[in-house]
Structure 1
């Protein structure tokens, strides 16, 4: 298929994200321009911005997926299953799958290093967390949403710290799971109970 035929489609978006991630991981987020990403992906800078509103979103490109996972977890839960149980089920499913949003994906270490090395990415990650909190608060109690998102982020930051320090994913897994269990115990006893 000619490049022009797919400029606006999901394949173009995926190619742009793949190229951007590779360049950011190789050179550092702040050292790469959107124009360089566009050139390497074979599209214009306008096309890049049509798919990604900000440069930071080229690297932190799972916010829509995260929002949809949160919505689906609480909206599609079975009768009798409360929001805390639904969020716990989602969280541990992501951990068991080593999903990128779990912090345990095989690419997590370079991802975390790149984010930690860029104030712009750290700032955008905080904005995304605030947006996810608002998304979840539209479905459940706002206090529960705030505690869940803050707790989840805290677990990820600790896991990132340990992985960046050189521990293996296998070595951090038990602590990662234990911190999530502690989060859900606190949500159950301190927020939902």
Structure 2
């Protein structure tokens, strides 16, 4: 009988490190609650420290900036796409991987998709703050650059090969567009149930375009052709 495989586990943290991690998480959770209730620009570090019952210096010991308090898991976000790519299934291409992962996120109502209850509050908080919008773009760019590096390594691309960077940019563009559309609809008051069918159809459509290419999409009308421009068979209506 084959031996059971026991996955590697992270070494257990000591008491001191566990307490530091718990303190960091508690401060971040309290800060996020304040930001989402009052607005990011209306909350100071002193407000966070007072509510968390710690000193301002303690907050800065854990978080370099106020934006870091809101995006306290930004390193996880940056690493996620690269990690998913490294762990893709045998024979699974990049587009198929991220298509699968996006639909899994929709099914799980994952916060990365904005397809979850309360996403409109998060969206409003970010969109109302230029600082948070800038940091969100920075995080997205870091994640995209890391994925491009992973793609280049996996394909043996040369440093001047644009394909890995273009592929990463297109993957992130599709995901970002879908998330923004979901965020807009949720912010407009639609329920998850009301938008579910459209959200899944839009995701399928977007990843179809990514997988098969734009082809003749949006071709100009051709008066010489009796039925207009020929339809690209890879593009679904």
Instruction: Quickly name the TM-score band, shorter chain normalised.
Output: 0.7 to 0.9
Gaps in structure 2 of 5+ consecutive residues: 1-15, 152-163, 215-233
SS in 2 for 1:139: helix
Taking CA–CA contacts closer than 8 Å with sequence separation of 6 or more, which of the two structures ends up with the larger relative contact order? 1
Please say if 1:153 is aligned against 2:176: yes
For 1:165-184, list aligned pairs within 5 A.
165-184=188-207
Flag the structure with higher helix content: 1
Structure-2 change in CA distance of 1:171 and 1:65 (3 Å): farther
Greater Cα shift, 64-73 or 103-112: 64-73
Gaps in structure 1 of 5+ consecutive residues: none
CA displacement at 1:6 relative to structure 2: 6.8
Paired with 2:54 and 2:17, the residues of 1 have a C-alpha distance of 10
Contact 1:74 1:83 (8 Å CA) reproduced: yes
Greater Cα shift, 34-43 or 93-102: 34-43
Q: Please say which structure displays the higher CA radius of gyration.
A: 2
CA displacement at 1:99 relative to structure 2: 1.1
> Which residue of 131, 136, 159 corresponds with 1:120?
131
CA displacement at 1:50 relative to structure 2: 3.4
Question: How many residues in Structure 1 have an aligned counterpart in Structure 2?
Answer: 188
Contact 1:6 1:12 (8 Å CA) reproduced: no
Contact 2:77 2:139 (8 Å CA) reproduced: no
**TM-score, length-scaled by structure 1:** 0.87
CA displacement at 1:15 relative to structure 2: 0.5
